[in-house]
Structure 1
Amino acid sequence: MEFDLSWLLLGLPLAFILGWLASRLDLRQIRAENRQAPKAYFKGLNFLLNEQQDKAIDAFIEAVQNDPDTTELHFALGNLFRRRGEYNRAVRVHEHLLSRADLSPSDRERAQHGIAQDFLKAGLLDRAEEALRRLEATPYETESRLALLAIYERSRDWPQAADIARRMQAAGQGDFSARLAHYLCEQAAENASNAQLEAALDLLHEAVATAPQSIRPRIALAQILFRLDRAEDAYQTLLHLAAETPQGLPLAAPLLLEVAAASQHQEDTVALLRQHYQQTPSLDLLDALVTLGAKPAAAAEDGNIPDERSWYVQHLTREPSLVAATKWLAGEKLSQEQYHPAVQKALDHASKPLLRYRCAACGFEARTHFWHCPGCQSWDSYPARRVEEL
C-alpha cells in the first residue's frame, strides 16, 4: 500500500495550528491565574490597611486558593487569624506550612515561631513551651527563650526559669543576673516556708554572689539568719546592704530594728539611721528613728530638749509631708481637744494613699512593696520609696 504524501502535507499545517491554539489557551490561563492572585492579594492588603480584617481574610483566603504554594500568603493569613483571636485557624495554617516537604528551612523556622505565638496567645502554655523549645539554634532563639522565661514565671517554675536565665547570660543574650537572683530568692522563700532554712540559706548566698547590687537577696538572707538565731550575722548582712545598696535601707528598716535589738546594736543602728537619713530623708527611716527613741540633733528654739517625735517636725522643715504632719499630730494635744479625733481621722484618710508603693513601669499601686509587679510582671519596678516621696 502506497503512502499518500498529500495527506502528510495537509496534516502538518493542521498539527501546527492545533499546537499553537493549545499553547495560546495555556498561556491565557496562566496569565489569568497570575493576574487573579496578585489582585486578590492587593485587595486583601487594602482591606488590611483600612482595618477591615474580615474582608482582608476573605481576600487572602481567595489568594491562597488561587496559589496554594505561596508561603507569604499563608503567613499573612495566620497572623491575621491570630490578631483576631481565631487561634485554632491560625494553628491550622501554620501546621499546614510545617507539613509541606518543599518548605525552605528559614520558612520552616518562621512557621514554627508562628505556631508558638499562636499557642502563647491562646494560653496553651504546655504546647507553647514545646513549640518554643524547637526554636533553639534558630534566629528566633533569643525571642523564644524570653517567652519561655515568661511562661516559667507565670507558672512559678523557678528552677526552669533560672536555667533559661543562666543559658541566656552565658550566650550573651543580655544581663540576667538580677533576674536570676530573684529566681533564687523565690526558691529560697519556698524552702523557708517548708522549714528548710539551710537550703534557703545556700540559695540566698548564691543570689548575693550572682547580683551583689541587688537589694532583695541581702534582706532575705538577713531574715533567714535571724530565724536561725544568728542575729549578729543578720546585722552584719544589713550593714553590707546599707553600704552596697543604701537605697534599699528603707525597705530593711523594720527588720533592722528587730535585729539590732536582738544583737544589742541599738546605738550603732541609731547612728547608721541618722547618717542615711541626713543623706536621703525617708519616711521609713524617720519612723525607725522615732521607734528607737532617738533624739533629734537640733535643739528646740525655746530651749527645751526635743523628744523623739520632734523628728517629724524637723522632717517638715526639710520637705513638705502630709504623712509626717499626720503622725506628729497624732501625739499632740489641740487647744480644742474635742475636734482632735475628727481632724486626725481626716488626715489619716488623706495620707493613707501616700504611703503606698507605685510601680514605675505601669503605675500599679500597692500597700506592700513588690519585687515582681502583679500588674505588668516587671521585676524591680517598685522604688523603695513611698508615693509621697516620689
Structure 2
Amino acid sequence: MDFDIGLGWILLGLPLAFVLGWFASRFDLRQLRLENRQAPKAYFKGLNFLLNEQQDQAIDAFIEAVQNDPDTSELHFALGNLFRRRGEYERAVRVHQHLLSRGDLVRADRERAQHALALDYLKAGLLDRAEEALRRLEGTPFEEQARLALLAIYERSRDWQQAAAITERLTASGQGNFSTRRAHYLCEQASAQAAAGQIDAARALLEQAMAAAPTAPRPRIELASLQLKARQPEAAFDTLRTLADVSPAALPLVAAQFAEAAVACGRTEAAQALLAERHAEEPSLDVLDAIVALQGGAASGPARAWYVRHLEREPSLVAATKWLAGETLEQEEFHPVVQRALEHATKPLTRYRCAACGFEAKQHFWQCPGCQTWDSYPPRRVEEL
C-alpha cells in the first residue's frame, strides 16, 4: 500500500518537473534573447551618435552596450578611442588596462590593447609610461609605429643618443633614410659641447655629422660659426665656400657670415664673385644684403645699384624699402615717416615660415617649434616664397 502511494507521487511529480523545467528554459531563452537584442541595439545607437558627431551620447550608448556584453572587446576598443579623442585620458587608460587584465583575450587583441594604452599615455604627456608601453610592442605588428612614437619621445626629451639608436633600427627595417636626421642629432650634441666650452669635442661631432650626411648644410654652418668664434676666418671662409658647392640652396642662411669671413681674411673679391654668381642663378634678399655689405654698404653707389638690379628680376617690397632709404625725396621732411611706415610693413615679409604648419619666426629653425618637423623651414624669407 505504501509502495503504491510513493509510486503515485513520483508519477504525479514527473509531469510537474517537466512543466517547471519547460517554463525555466523558456524564461532563460527569453532573457538571453532580450540581452542579445539590447546589446546590438545599444551598439548601433552608439554608432549612429558617432556618425552624427554626438560623442557624449555615443559614449553613453557604448557604456550601456559594454555593460550588457562585457566580453565584447571591440566595444571596449571603441569606447577607449572615444575617451582618448575627447581628452579623457584617465578613462581611456582604465578601459585598455581592463582589456589587458583579461585572461581570455587573444594575442592580436592584447597587442592592439597595448598599442592603444601606449597612445593614451602619449596623448596625456606621460612620456615615461608611454615609453615603457611602446617598448613592449617590439616583435608585434605595431613595432614600426611604436618605434616612430619612441623617436618622437626621445626628440622631445632631447635624448639624442636614444633617438639615433631608433633611427638605426628604422633604417635597418627599410623605413627610410634617416642620415640627415642623425646629422641633426650630432649637431645638437655639438651645440651642447660648445656651450660647455668643449670646442674640440664639438668639432669632432660636427665632423661625424658631415660624414653621416655629406650634403646636409647644418654641420658646415655650425662648424663655420665655431671657426669664426675661434678667430679662424680663413677656415670659416673655406667651410662656407664648400657649403655653397654641396648645398647651394642654403647659402642665404650664411651669406652674412660668408661676407664677414671674407673681409677678415682679405678675400672679398672671391666672395663677391661667388655671391654675384649665386644671385644671378637665384635672387635672394640675404645674398643681396651680403653683396651690398661687401661693396661698402647701402650708402655707396655701386651697392645701391644692386637693389635696382634685384628689383628688375624680383618685385620685392623689402629691397625697394632699402633702396628708398638712401634716396632724397622732393619733400624730404616726410622721408623718415614714410621710411618707418615701409619698414614696419616689410617686417612680416622678412620672417621664415614652416612649410609643414605655417609657423612664422624671425629666425631660421632646423626643427619647427610648432610642429616639431625637421628641415621644414625653407632658407628663404616669406616674401621670396
Q: TM-score, normalised by structure 1?
A: 0.91
1:344 match: 339
CA distance in 2, matches of 1:379, 1:312: 33
Counting only pairs closer than 5 Å after superposition, residues 204-353 of structure 1 correspond to structure 2 as 204-293=206-295, 307-353=302-348
Q: How far is 1:294 from its partner? A: 7.6
**Other structure's SS at 1:308 match:** helix
Letter in 2 for 1:355: T
The DSSP-based 3-state class of the residue aligned with 2:175 is: coil
Cα 1:11–1:346 change in 2 (3 A) is: closer
Distance 1:360 1:336 in 2: 42
Query: What do you get for the CA RMSD once the two structures are aligned?
Result: 2.2
Gap runs ≥5 in structure 1: 296-304
| Cα distance per residue 1:171-209 (max 9 Å; x no partner) | 212222222221211111111111111111122112222
Give the corresponding residue for 2:361: 366
Query: How many residues matched?
Result: 381
* CA displacement, residues 212-246 of structure 1 (integer Å, 9 cap, x when unaligned): 22221221122223334443333222122111111
Instruction: Give a deviation string over 1:25-45, Cα, whole Å, max 9, x none.
Output: 322222222112111111111
Once the two structures are overlaid, the 10-residue window that deviates more, 271-280 or 353-362, is: 353-362
Is 1:377 aligned to 2:372, yes or no?
yes
Aligned match for 2:199, one of 182, 197, 200: 197
**Contact 1:358–1:365 under 8 Å retained in 2:** yes
- CA offsets 1:80-108 (integer angstroms, 9 cap, x no match): 11122221111111111111111111111
SS at match of 1:307: helix
Q: Which residue of 1 aligns with 2:50?
A: 48
Code of the residue aligned with 2:268 in structure 1: it is Q
CA distance in 1, matches of 2:223, 2:137: 37
CA distance in 2, matches of 1:258, 1:149: 38
The one-letter code sitting in structure 2 at the alignment partner of 1:362 is C
2:256·2:289 contact (CA, 8 Å) conserved in 1?
no
Moved more, 4-13 or 54-63: 4-13
Quote the offset at 1:250 in angstroms.
0.7
- Deviation, 1:74, is 0.9
User: For residues 75 and 112 of structure 1, what CA distance do their matches in structure 2 show?
Assistant: 11
Alignment deviations for residues 315-345 of structure 1 (CA, whole Å, 9 cap, x no partner): 1122211211211222232343322222222
Identity %: 69
Q: Is the 8 A contact 2:89 2:124 kept in 1?
A: yes
Give, in whole Å, the separation in 2 of the partners of 1:319 and 1:98.
62
Matches within 5 A, 1:52-201: 52-201=54-203
- Return the alpha-carbon distance in structure 2 between the equivalents of residues 208 and 92 of structure 1: 47
- The SS at the match of 1:138 is coil
State the distance in 1 between where 2:313 and 2:60 align.
Answer: 67
Residues 283-325 of structure 1: CA distance to partner in whole angstroms, max 9, x if unpaired? 1111111111189xxxxxxxxx952221111111222112112
SS of 2:226 mapped into structure 1: helix
User: Structure 1 residues 148-157 or 273-282, which shifts more?
Assistant: 148-157
Select between 70-79 and 254-263 the one with higher mean Cα deviation: 254-263
Which consecutive aligned stretches of 4+ in structure 1 deviate over 6 angstroms post-superposition? none
Aligned 8 A contact 1:257 1:288 in 2: yes
- Indicate if the aligned counterparts of 1:270 and 1:294 stay in contact, CA closer than 8 A: no
The one-letter amino acid paired with 1:310 is A
- How far does residue 2 in structure 1 lie from its aligned partner after superposition? 8.7
SS in structure 2 opposite 1:381? coil
**Counterpart secondary structure, 2:165:** helix
Q: TM-score, normalised by structure 2?
A: 0.92
Contact 2:117 2:133 in 1 (8 A): yes
SS in 2 for 1:375: coil
Distance of 2:362 and 2:152 partners within structure 1: 25
d(CA) in 1 for partners of 2:66, 2:55: 16
Q: Structure 2 stretches of 5 or more lacking a match?
A: none
